[in-house]
Amino acid sequence: MPDQMNSRPARLIVVDDDPDIRDLIVRQLQQEHYDVVPAGSLAELQDALAVHSADLIVLDLNLPDGDGLNLCRELRAQGSDVRIIMVSARGSAIDRVLGLELGADDYLTKPFEPRELLVRIRNLLRRAQIDDPERQRDKSARTASFGPWRLDLFQRRLIAEDGRLVMLSSAEFRLLSRFIDEPNVVLSRENLVPERRATAAFDRSIDLQVSRLRQKLAAMPGGEELILTVRGEGYVLARPVSFE
């Protein structure tokens, strides 16, 4: 079943001037029961946006009537928070960083596996739902419980089932907070450290921070498999979270 936005199937706009690629993507997304609107140019995309409220745009950068980068920048300047996945044959680090800096939420290099695009779409739509103010956790909650641990949200420390206390560094607390806000959702490096989104994909220090956090969580039986690696995608807190 597709992710839903406000109790309806998520509406996606697929923009690519290559009809074969566009039709392939549209068919696959329709099979997943998304509401999909195709567009072959920037003009068609703008016409679609004038009629449809979109939850996510799959945006090719090289279009016959302009550059997708400029449109992405314009949408963000207008205050649009629609999720955008850029797709392009330009695979250099500079192109990826530029796309993310101009407001894209993700960047996928052609050629790509259609299933990979589907996974990225699902993750972005889930995050959009979690970012919805109506879905935010109660800010008055004092603790978050997951597996054998409770996280004290005020004193920034872990509390084990046996009462043992484990202090967290500021970086570890921020990282764990991202996980507990989105349990059972695969988070890329960009999602884990959004303040460093432009360079996070290439920043291996994030992996080191995750490793250190894992070591602390592994101090309790059952804690060693709380944060799992999803190869090529990121990390996931594989436990439900409850707040008190």
Tokens of 177: 């907070």
How far the first Cα of the chain sits from its last, in Å, is 31
Helix (H, G, I), strand (E, B) or coil at 53: coil
Among positive and negative, which fits the CA dihedral 62, 67, 73, 77? negative
The pTM score is: 0.54
Tell me which H or E stretch contains 170: helix 170-181
Q: How far is CA 61 from the centre of its chain?
A: 20
CA distance 193 to 169: 15
CA distance 53 to 12: 9
- Predicted confidence at residue 27, as pLDDT, reads 93
CA distances for 17 relative to 20, 67, 135, angstroms: 9, 12, 37
Report whether 171 contacts 213 (CB < 8 A): no
Report whether 75 contacts 81 (CB < 8 A): no
- Predicted confidence at residue 56, as pLDDT, reads 93
- Predicted confidence at residue 3, as pLDDT, reads 57
Per the DSSP assignment, residues forming a β-bridge with 12 are 36, 56
Which long-range contacts does 87-93 make (Cβ < 8 Å, 24+ apart)? 87/16, 87/58, 87/59, 87/60, 87/61, 87/112, 87/117, 88/60, 88/61, 88/62, 89/62, 90/61, 90/62, 93/202
CA distance 23 to 52: 19
CA distances for 114 relative to 28, 56, 120, angstroms: 8, 16, 10
Residues of the chain with pLDDT under 70: 1-8, 91-95, 127-140, 194-204
